[in-house]
Amino acid sequence: MADSQPYATLDTGAKVPMIALGCYMGKPGGDQELVDAIKAATQVGYRHFDTATYYMNEDKVGQGLRESGVPREQLFVTTKLRNDCHHDVEAAFDNSLKLLNVDYIDMYLMHWPNSTKPNEPYVADDSIDFIQTWKSMERLLETRAGKVKAIGVSNFSTKTLPQLLEHAKVVPAMNQIETHPYNQTSELVALCQKHGIVVSAYSPLGLTDSPIFKDEDVLAVAKEIGATPAQVILNWNMQRNVVVLPKSITPSRIEQNFKFVKLSEAQMAKINSIEKDPKRQYRLCKVFDPKTQTVFGWSYERLGWTTRSL
Ligand code: A2P
């Protein structure tokens, strides 16, 4: 295996490969395409796979991993608690374990701070808050010892993370957020890293036909180091110790994304400076629902999100 790949270290001591294959393939569910993508990824050295119950493909992710033939102990598998399962974390966890059909999960994340009503993904369920949900996640470490290696969160902000930390017995090992050169969230990244929380980046390329691929600063750095824009974007994040979770079903892109190139300090500074340009700061992941004006039932303000969506 490509064990020369870089790793981040969790506060549990576990090593996390810096590049994962993001397994949400643009639509809920999973089919042979996903199984094939996972197998193609393992062949070029990926050992970290990121899914969620919400993606409705945990069974296919498990199938792809088994068919890859890579020993379980070489893999790092992340899945996430669905928003309508905050009231019963244990049952949700057991269900993920069963669907993935693995002996343990390396990282179990609270997918969103938001709890939502069953079958109403844009209606907030305020009968429970994320601190109560986190207590249930903490209990998993005892009741499901050995079956869950680490717990963390996703989509927590500089507003919600401190609220959680104030009450947490176990500091989340990871915060998975949307971050890329057009949504750098450097304050949040610094806050997480100060607390030993590994940051991982979803939509690190900015979805299909990403505008970041055409960014003049990204293109300039790509030309200087003889890399593709995608490689510049991913390595920029990794060089600030952010784990990246790019997704692709295209074998050549899966391979292209798994390449470690070095940006100089000046090249890092050039990409960092994009954050100072308000015209190039927006979220690209399409989670905002215009009808309810929310992201899964919560306003941007409640989430503590400041960057607008494209
Ligand atoms: P595809 O799956 O057809 O290869 P993100 O992970 O930021 O959400 O972006 C994923 C999207 O970007 C997918 O649509 C994927 O397309 C595309 N993609 C992944 N890797 C690359 C790449 N190296 N160059 C161009 N597009 C890519």
Q: Please report, in tens digits, the pLDDT of each residue of the chain (310 residues total).
A: 446 899 999 999 999 999 999 999 777 777 899 999 999 999 999 999 999 999 999 999 999 999 999 999 999 999 999 999 999 999 999 999 999 999 999 999 999 999 999 999 999 999 999 999 999 999 999 999 999 999 999 999 999 999 999 999 999 999 999 999 999 999 999 999 999 999 999 999 998 889 999 999 999 999 999 999 999 999 999 999 999 999 999 999 999 999 999 999 999 999 999 999 999 999 999 999 999 999 999 999 999 999 888 8
Does some domain include residue 160? Answer: yes
Residue 129: its pLDDT value, please? 98
- Residue 42 Cα to ligand 1 midpoint, Å, equals 17
Does some domain include residue 205? Answer: yes
Task: Establish whether 282 is a catalytic residue.
Answer: no
Q: Select which of 24, 46, 55, 182 is catalytic.
A: 55
Domain count of the fold of the chain:
1
Does some domain include residue 42? Answer: yes
Does some domain include residue 308? Answer: no
- Residue 263 Cα to ligand 1 midpoint, Å, equals 21
**At CA 141, angle to CA 65 and CA 41, rounded to 5?**
15
Cα–Cα dist 98/92, whole Å: 10
253 lines ligand 1 (CB under 6 A): yes
Does some domain include residue 310? Answer: no
157 lines ligand 1 (CB under 6 A): no
Residue 1: its pLDDT value, please? 41
Domain CATH code at residue 95: 3.20.20.100
Does some domain include residue 228? Answer: yes
170 CB-contact burial (10 Å; exposed 0-12 / middle 13-18 / buried 19+): middle
pTM of the model: 0.97
Beta strand 120-124 with 76-81 is unpaired
229 lines ligand 1 (CB under 6 A): no
Residue 207: its pLDDT value, please? 86
Cα–Cα dist 60/57, whole Å: 5
Q: Could you tell me the residue range of the domain that residue 111 belongs to? A: 2-303
Residue 174: its pLDDT value, please? 98
203 lines ligand 1 (CB under 6 A): yes
Does some domain include residue 80? Answer: yes
- Residue 246 Cα to ligand 1 midpoint, Å, equals 7
The annotation status of 195 as a binding-site residue, yes or no, is no
248 lines ligand 1 (CB under 6 A): yes
Residue closest to 212 by CA, chosen among 252, 181, 234: 181
Cβ contact 5:19 at 8 Å? yes
Q: Which helix H or strand E contains 223, and what residues bound it? A: helix 216-225
Residue closest to 243 by CA, chosen among 278, 275, 201: 201
Residue 79 β-bridge partners:
108
Cα–Cα dist 224/221, whole Å: 5
Instruction: Reduce the DSSP state of residue 255 to 3 states and report it.
Output: helix
Of ligand 1's listed atoms, the one at least distance from the Cα of 37 is 2
Phi and psi, residue 134, nearest 5°: -65, -35
